[in-house]
Structure 1
Amino acid sequence: MKRYAVILIAAMSTGLSGQIARADEVIDGYSAYMGQDDLCNSSGARLTEAWQIIRQDRANFHKFGLRQRGDEDDSYFASEANRAKAEAMLQNGEISPAAARRIVRGDVTIHVMIYGKGTVGRSLKVIVE
């Protein structure tokens, strides 16, 4: 059910760049709550970029088993190597400046579509609820 919701959001969302639409397909997706646990890294330092918080959320979920209400599973970011690609994937993808600011403040739910070919992720599209 979750996969269908993410794909539906991807299909219905406006502003999808032609490059993403033509070159890649949705290979995975998830929704997650960006809470206080996601706003600091494992050493306790406050994160200041949306991609850092998204990456920390996925590390919390997959590596540390720290799950918050609204967090969904994904297979792509289960890999530490794939989590390390989050910054570049977001730079290649889409997030509005307002959405990025809301993620940095925390207490928001996000919907993430992972675009690529096969199992290779290339970009992210992030929508804040």
Structure 2
Amino acid sequence: MFRFIFVALIAAAAPATAEIIESYYAEIGPEDRRNSRGAGLSDPGAILQQDRANYHRFGIRHSGDEGDVFFANRDLRAQIPGLYARGRRDAWSDGVLTGDFNVGIVVFICGGRSQPTHLNVEPADGDGYFGC
């Protein structure tokens, strides 16, 4: 009996396997590092959120930027900082998002049953993990 309960607790604590709900290419530039009022952004999640607001709401797009259906919704865009915080973060992704140069990235919206749980950001040059 104890063994069954122990195994059940471990299974309940294990994260569900995430799948790619959607992915898109984005170029992060200086416009994405400032909010809609012109103030500088230093949080990588906020920069990702501004990039999607620029794309969907303000029509500010870099060459190669791709659309996504998920973050066209303003309420869902508001979730981006939290989704990024729960994703696979490292010095590379934080650094390129907050850096001073334009950078191409691929964003993976990860979760299950069309419910996002986190975002992963990878280099657009193909030198990354690529996935959820």
Q: TM-score range by the shorter chain?
A: 0.7 to 0.9
Counterpart of 2:122, as a letter, is I
Q: Corresponding residue for 1:60? A: 54
Q: Do 2:48 and 2:81's aligned partners in 1 also have CA atoms closer than 8 Å?
A: no
What is the TM-score normalised by the length of structure 2? Answer: 0.77
SS in 2 for 1:63: helix
Aligned-residue identity in percent = 34
- Aligned partner (choices 69, 75, 83) of residue 63 of structure 2: 69
Structure 1 window deviating more from structure 2 (113-122 vs 78-87): it is 113-122
Structure 1: how far apart are the matches of 2:92 and 2:61? 25
Which residue does the alignment assign to 1:119? 114
The match for 2:94 among 97, 100, 117 is 100
- The answer as to whether partners of 2:22 and 2:68 remain within 8 angstroms in 1 is yes
Aligned to 1:49: 43
CA displacement at 1:119 relative to structure 2: 2.6
Structure 2 letter corresponding to 1:60 = N
| Equivalences, count | 110
Tell me which stretches of 4 or more aligned residues in structure 1 moved more than 6 Å.
Answer: none
Computing the radius of gyration over CA atoms, which structure comes out larger, 1 or 2? Answer: 2
Q: Which amino acid is 1:52 matched to? A: A
Q: Secondary structure of the residue that 1:68 maps to in structure 2? A: coil
Shift of 1:117: 2.0
- Map 1:18-57; keep pairs closer than 5 Å: 19=15, 22-57=16-51
| Contact residue 95 and residue 127 of structure 1 kept, 8 A | no
RMSD of aligned alpha carbons: 1.5
Which TM-score applies when normalising by structure 1?
0.79
